[in-house]
Structure 1
Amino acid sequence: MTTLRGTLAPGAPDYVYLPFEVPPGTAELQVSYTYDRPAVPPGTPGNALDIGLFDERGTELGGRGFRGWSGGARTEFRVRADEATPGYLPGPLNPGTWHIALGPYTVAPQGLRYEVTVTLTGGGPGRTPTPSYPPARAAGRGRDWYRGDCHLHSWHSDGRRTPAEIAALARAAGLDFINSSDHNTTAAHAHWADAAGDDLLVLLGEEVTTRNGHVLALGTDPGTFVDWRHRARDHRWARFAREIRRAGGLAVPAHPHGDCVGCAWKFGFAEADAVEVWNGQWTPDDEVTLAAWDARLVSSARADRAWLPAMGDSDAHRDPDVVGHPQTVVLAEDLTREAILEGLRAGRSYVAESRAVSLAFTVTAEGGRRAGIGERLTAPADAPVTVRLEARGAPRCSVRLVTDQGVVLTGEPLPVAGAGAVEWRTTTAHAAYVRAELRHEAAAGPLPGAMAAFTNPVFLKAA
């Protein structure tokens, strides 16, 4: 047994590494830790200490030696060749210098005293199981609209649900696909195969949780680890965004205006493939994110350059978090990893609060040429084009149409039956793009109500 003690002062490094030796013939490694939580003045963060593990291959950036991370969700864990605590990777316990990784998330003014106990048990080497990953294809409907939730947490990070429980909730929510996105670990990847099926495509990824914001590595190759130990000032984000794309995935900043410590996105959007505009229950930070995203649409449309599609996810961790609230509905060629990611990347999608809400949104020019969500329509500058939104499952919700000039139409609330259609005419000279929103009845005066659904834009270009 080895006990490691110390004190971290306010302003401590983001990560502190405690070395310990693993001798030959070690069959199991157990770790437990405690730290003090002194009282602090109101409004002052108290102590919060995360923990993880790196093996004899080292702690260098890139994660060759990474063996697991539980953040602040667990006070103890164990690793063997044949199994490991959720959040950690089973595998050989090779002799050498290993490291406990401590992450002082917040440190009280009095400092943070910690004690880590490492217990090693001898024995045979054990056999590391060959991981089994979910298939990259499910039984789809061909080219169709597919519903998914790409931000979910299991008990492999700070969630409280098993992969099987999440999959059951996803099916109940009418989802066709989900994405595994535990904080700073890929340990869940090998535990999703049994939860997937012909009716549910399971994508694999990670919520890369840095001190300057969180990003979803969405739909990466199985086992792809993306390091989180960097800040915006380190100028390393572009490297890891490229790693995500090389692994076949998308880089999607999550809740970019979140108000928790370290949640707000500080890396910019040059390397992003999409952005999570709606996260969980609709709150003021989602409203801010929507406005900021729309402002980028204006810049992209005026410069006729690439744009950043929007997504929505539940970020569900535990009860009462609702899997599939909200959900991204994407037009894809089939229910495969490749097709879903291509549809998300192209922005052929809208976000809805539940399976009950369905939208059809098009812009049609004279002569019948038509563009849908995420597409572009070219027409003479003075020729009229017709914008049409059809909605179902949104009783008493109001339609809002938004262009680069702002909100240009607010329709009457949909009937209690929840279905209706709205048409509006414009020209490519007057609107560089148009997108639609469905809002619940406002709770306070002129403020817009909570979101029920919104679309990505249709772009308009003068011939």
Structure 2
Amino acid sequence: MDETIQKITGTLDPGTPDWHYLPVDIPAGAREIEVVYSYDRPEVPPGVKANALDIGIFGPHGEFRGWSGGARDRFTINATEATPGYLAGPVDPGTWRIVLGPYTVSPQGMTFEVDVTVRFGPDGSPFEASPAPSTAPEKNRGAAWYRGDGHLHTVYSDGGRELQELVADARAAGLDFIVSTEHNTSSAHLQWGRHATEDLLILNGEEVTTRTGHWPAWNLPAGKWIDWRYRADDPGELQKFVDEVHESGGLVVAAHPFSPCVGCTWEFGYERADLVEVWNGPWTLDDEATVIVWDSLLRAGKWIPAVGNSDSHTHNDRVGLPHNVVHAEGLTPGQLMTGFAKGRNWIAESAEVQLELTASADGRAAGIGERLTADPRTPITIEVKANGAPDTHVRILNQNGPQWGGYVPREGATITWTTQTRYSKWVRAEIRRPIPTDTTVDTMVALTNPVFLG
């Protein structure tokens, strides 16, 4: 017998648990597993969620072997290769577990069918991992400002781009680095080296996609997988995985905190996040809400450095809209993480936008993410230089709100304002274009982390 087929059926009701495990016994001699699944999609009235069912699989030792969410209806694993999102490797005998994740369940419930085909025979040649190199020598300028997008998807989760297409689009956007953040899987980590270039640094990551918020884990070792099977009300679970990321030299990003999709809103609180994604993709009302909350935390003395990323999925989602401009001592993963952790970062809609924010007094100066100390009576000059953002407006903000501003013509502008430490605990800058979007009265062009005064 060259193959066996097992059919598993079931029904899930509204309010069902987040994860369901289907045990599948794999005998010795198996060389490949193929899983095909389907579920019913009854019509629902407006405002009611339709059925959506995610899928993944764990090996006989409890090890992660892949996840595709709802992006595809089948996957294959063998020693040589696997469907994107899944990990190639030997098909060891034992009880494997297919994991089903009912994302939304209609009032009628959800019936599903899973067909598991096991094929037998000798294994093919072992899979050869090719992780991305840890350097991009053509772009390493030493201590400098580096541009990068830290939230991106390809066919290795629910994106439309092949890996090489994402590399090409990132280079065309003028980026120095990207972070690969596929949903709930590490499989792309082992492929990036086949597509890496010497002018784009590729960092490994994962968008840990829980049912109560998403958090990109940045700068993971190649192949490192972070679990996502918990909610905000599960005591201690998030901290355990945050610790794993930190021990690996990475950072935790609270992604799109007010995104309106199911499970996307950030419910974990900000105490365990290293960074907060205040701007996600084209500027919309949920980004405005995040900036307001981030600013409120800042006013309360609870600063979490801000980042912005494109969260690009399809070819129509522009890579680098927005992206980060972070100051680092060099273009290496560790140096970039240090820059982000210090808040030495501002956010831009494109590589054309240039922005500087400095505070100076008594011949001393401090920039974004830094602190300038001065006597409370000493005047402090705040200077914003903006270029590449024609027909926009700069505004300088402190803990009391917007304080000063100015128009940016095509040739650029320098805006100055004077304050004292008795009046300003910090200052930050925004550039906005007076053109409304579908949900906002204007459009963000650039946003900085604060310069602190004291």
TM-score by length of 2: 0.96
Q: How big is the shift at 1:130?
A: 3.6
Aligned to 1:22: 26
- Unpaired segments of 5 or more residues in structure 1? 59-64, 301-305
Are 1:326 and 2:330 counterparts? no
Task: Supply the distance in 2 between the matched residues of 1:12 and 1:407 (Cα, whole angstroms).
Answer: 47
**1:449 Cα shift?**
1.6
* 1:373-400 per-position Cα deviation (integer Å, ceiling 9, x unaligned): 0001110111110000001100010001
The secondary structure found in structure 1 opposite 2:373 is: strand
- Long gaps (5+) in structure 2: none
One-letter code of the match for 1:32?
V
Write the distance in 2 (CA, Å) between the matches of 1:279 and 1:341: 19
Supply the distance in 2 between the matched residues of 1:193 and 1:420 (Cα, whole angstroms). 42
Q: What are the residue-to-residue correspondences of 1:35-54 with 2, within 5 Å?
A: 35-54=39-58
Q: What is the alpha-carbon distance in structure 2 between the residues aligned to residue 338 and residue 194 of structure 1? A: 22
The secondary structure found in structure 1 opposite 2:268 is coil
Q: Is 1:458 matched with 2:451?
A: yes
Deviations 1:254-288 (A, max 9, x none): 10111100000001111111111100000000000
Deviation at 1:247, TM superposition (A): 1.2
Separation (CA, whole Å) in 2 of partners of 1:123 and 1:292:
58
Structure 1 CA distance, aligned partners of 2:78 and 2:388? Answer: 50
2:347 alignment counterpart = 351
| In 2, Cα distance between equivalents of 1:315 and 1:229 | 22
What is the CA distance between 1:299 and its match in structure 2? Answer: 1.4
Q: Secondary structure at the match of 1:342?
A: helix
SS in 1 for 2:278: strand
Mapping of 1:51-90 within 5 angstroms? 51-58=55-62, 65-90=63-88
The answer to whether the Cα contact below 8 Å between 1:439 and 1:448 also exists between their aligned partners in 2 is: no
Distance 2:341 2:380 in 1: 26
Mapped to 2, the partners of 1:194 and 1:343 lie a distance apart of 28
Distance across 2 between alignment mates of 1:186 and 1:132: 13
Paired position in structure 2 for 1:405: 400
- Per the alignment, in what secondary structure is the counterpart of residue 388 of structure 1? strand
Kindly indicate whether the alpha-carbon contact (under 8 Å) linking 2:394 and 2:429 is maintained by their aligned counterparts in 1. Answer: yes
Alignment of 1:237-276 (within 5 A): 237-276=238-277
Which moved further from structure 2: 422-431 or 138-147? 138-147
Counterpart selection for 1:379 from 355, 374, 377: 374
SS of residue paired to 2:408? coil
* Mapping for residues 115-134 of structure 1, pairs under 5 Å: 115-134=113-132
Asked whether the 8 Å contact 1:144–1:331 carries over to 2, the reply is: yes
8 Å contact 1:144–1:332 — kept in the other structure? Answer: yes
State which of 91, 103, 106 in structure 1 corresponds to 2:104.
106
Does the 8 Å CA contact 2:281/2:312 hold for their aligned counterparts? yes
Question: Residues 60-89 of structure 1, C-alpha deviation per residue, up to 9 Å, x if partnerless?
Answer: xxxxx2100000000011000110000000
- Is the partner of 1:379 in helix, strand or coil? coil
Where 2:199 maps in the other structure, the secondary structure is: coil
Question: Where do 4+ consecutive residues of structure 1 move more than 6 Å?
Answer: none
Letter of the structure 2 residue corresponding to residue 83 of structure 1: E
Q: Number of aligned pairs?
A: 445
Which shifted more, 291-300 or 189-198?
189-198
CA contact (8 A) 1:44 1:108 kept: yes
Tell me the secondary structure at the aligned position of residue 205 of structure 1. strand
- Aligned match of 2:179: 179
Opposite residue 174 of structure 2, the aligned amino acid is G
Tell me which of 426, 431, 434 is aligned to 2:427. Answer: 434
Residue 448 (structure 1) shift = 5.2
Aligned partner of 2:424: which letter?
A
Look up the match of 1:138.
Answer: 136
Distance across 1 between alignment mates of 2:436 and 2:250: 39
SS in 1 for 2:262: coil
2:388 and 2:410 in contact (8 A); partners too: no
Cα distance, 1:144 vs structure 2: 0.8
**Partner deviation per Cα, 1:202-237 (whole Å, 9 max, x = no partner):** 000100000000000011111111100000111211
> Matched residues in 1 for 2:224 and 2:93: separation?
25
Q: Which secondary structure state, in structure 2, belongs to the residue aligned with residue 142 of structure 1? A: coil
Secondary structure (helix, strand or coil) at the match of 2:179 reads: strand
State the identity %. 51
How much does 1:175 deviate? 0.2
* 1:3 partnered with 2:4: no
Secondary structure of the equivalent of 1:232?
Answer: coil
In structure 2, the partner of 1:62 is none
Partner of 1:151: 151
In 1, are the aligned partners of 2:31 and 2:123 still within 8 Å (CA)?
yes
Q: 1:237 aligns to what SS in structure 2?
A: helix
Q: 1:390 is matched with which residue?
A: 385
Distance 1:128 1:6 in 2: 35
Deviation by residue 1:153-198 (Cα, 9 ceiling, x = unmatched):
0101000111111000000000000000000000000111122222
Rounded to whole Å, the distance in 2 between the matches of 1:291 and 1:264 is: 15
2:409 maps to which residue? 415
Which of residues 309, 316, 336 in structure 1 aligns to 2:305? Answer: 309
Distance 1:127 1:69 in 2: 23
CA distance in 2 between partners of 1:198 and 1:127 (Å): 29
- The alignment's TM-score, normalised by the length of structure 1, stands at 0.95
Counterpart pick for 1:338 among 331, 334, 338: 334
Q: Distance in 1 between matches of 2:435 and 2:297?
A: 26
